[in-house]
Chains A and B, each alone.
Chain A
């Protein structure tokens, strides 16, 4: 299919300016980088994290008064999916276990394996299939200081500097200290790391690293980690019970305020059921599918902030939820690639960002947040974006320049996955530019934990993208695959420790906290049909909805 004739016509303008632009780069001349004042201005006006519109203060719960994206605040200021008073535990099917892990991505699966290795019965309950998660989508790599010229000390500095020195120090120390242990753990489970013939890990730099410590498995690092963890979990036939298409909708607490399990929802039969457990680990990942301010996202289908809602209602405070990572270059065309990540490497190799007239409007190596804001300004305020047949806007990322700057063959060699991904749709990125727009990529914040992954609620632990603090206000590439494995393991250990210290019976299943929260929400005048956790996004068109005369939606789910 390729580009439409109209788009091909516009591409001629890009071609018309290319020779001069290539010449300039060869002479070491670049588009003027912004001054700090200009950066502040474009961020304030156009970056979704800075703009006032689209952000409101949350009016309930532990973080009352904090300002977050309104789509997320709407999730927090929501009614439970089911009125706590209407839940009769005596009629619900009940499972009982030592440790309940909610979420079958990298974090949850690591926790389940470790808790099982410590002799516990584990239930791993997950919303979609085991492994349908952000973890499988990570291409780039996982950090860990295991080379002689590197150490956890330098890794620590990189992480905290990258996070603008806002990170939680104890979490950064845990992350960087455990990193080599995690890499070894994965190697021992048979992960196919990229290695030299002598077995040495092949490592690269990532944005903001002072030593090379990015480990990879081709351009499928997250997928390889997930495959290995999932297969390992499957080999624990006697200790890990997997329940798929099972979404947690509420944490359960006993009268002493200890966790006692979770209220679950079977997405297929629409039945609720109970899992009673001594300890619970929340590992439900991110919130990209909230499409904050209409942004497309790199995240998987189930990234709907569920764990944040569950934890928040149970009394766990949030940290850093004011901060979101937008990746400046998400694909905007063709439709089947929309939102997908186009690595920074493309700009690193010299490709310019261009508007509808084929002109540069921003230096291509501004920091991620500034670059994103500049692209939004070009499309929204200046109306210089290129529109796709389905009505999206974007700007050109001039990949053919790479071939001229770095020599023919560079695109295929350096960007094999992207090359194939576009070629599939008849777009040869050696010859024509890509169309890009910022995309919602990573939830920097989340549930507040300590280095043992404790949340403050006895027996409740959290790990992975659902937590906040380790990356501060900005995450570096390669540190979240590390985050989920390091803290997933720690959550497994902490839960196991908690279980072994636990005496007596599992507390009774209780929803008093959810009831209390609901009463608070009642005072806010929010629409009564607004429920959370969302569980799935809804992409039903307005037209279809207007014909569904008897359909009933519970939040986003039919």
Chain B
């Protein structure tokens, strides 16, 4: 076997001569190995997460973090699992920020500007400061989608907000007290349900399934022995990558 150590799991093995830098976790100094993410560095310091940790991969929004670097007035925002520590970083994590979702049932709504302004009247109070956009770790044009929502442009708001991981950082910063990500969620669902054209082929397939069209074929397959299944498996016709207008020869089981 190898003489090299293989770092395992998510536990860090430091290289020889690893450099330690000062990082202030909620104002308190810890010397932590550079190259680690904020999340792993905090674990390295001896914390065990219950909150502020979810996917560890930049997509769940559990780990928004705010920091300044000593000697610099600027406030920075990022995800703890995606940001590498820097010397003299003074950081705090924001495991939760209150933001209320309006009470609605999607199927009772209409995709109109009135729906938005009725459920989230505060969007009309946006002062255009763009602080939300600067706080967003996903580089979303947050003010842009709020402005679209203000104008009732649901399609645009839905598309502009598509990458939102609902971390709440924007809402923590907004002087107009808007719950941005709930507004965005409403816009996306309105768009998906009422604005985007429905898939007609899906409607027909669903009625076929509901009428039991495939039950017989599936039942036959579940009762089939392995050699026969293998034969069918090998014989299946493959749809080509470029399949414009392609149709299979065998249509008996469509």
Contact = CB atoms under 8 A, between A and B. Distances in A.
Given A335-B37, A336-B84, A132 B55 contact: yes
A205 B48 CA distance: 41
A334 B158 CA distance: 33
Nearest to B111: A190
B73 interface: no
Contacts of A128: 51, 53-54, 62
Contacts of B54: 128-129, 131-133, 136, 300-302
Contacts of A26: none
Which size class do A's interface residues fall under?
A: 35 or more
B162 A235 contact: no
Contacts of A231: 101, 185, 189
Contact of A180 (B8, B165, B205): B205
B84 A425 contact: yes
A160 B105 contact: no
Interface string A389-411: 11111000000000000000000
Contacts of A51: none
A156 interface: yes
B218 A338 contact: no
B163 A220 contact: yes
A189 interface: yes
A157 B37 contact: no
B192 A191 contact: yes
B3 to A, nearest CB: 8
Interface residues of B, number: 96
Interface in B176-197: 185, 188-194, 196-197
A192 B253 contact: no
B51 to A, nearest CB: 7
B36 interface: yes
B221 interface: yes
Contacts, number: 296
B6 A237 contact: no
A296 B9 contact: yes
A231 B54 CA distance: 18
A334 B197 CA distance: 42
A215 to B, nearest CB: 9
B230 interface: yes
A199 B203 CA distance: 11
A41 to B, nearest CB: 17
A234 to B, nearest CB: 6
Contacts of A172: 221-222
B81 interface: yes
Which among B202, B206, B232, B246 has the greatest number of chain A C-beta atoms within 10 A? B202
B13 interface: yes
Which among B18, B55, B163 has the greatest number of chain A C-beta atoms within 10 A? B55
Given A156-B221, A336-B37, 6 more contacts: A157-B232, A201-B201, A235-B106, A296-B9, A392-B7, A539-B9
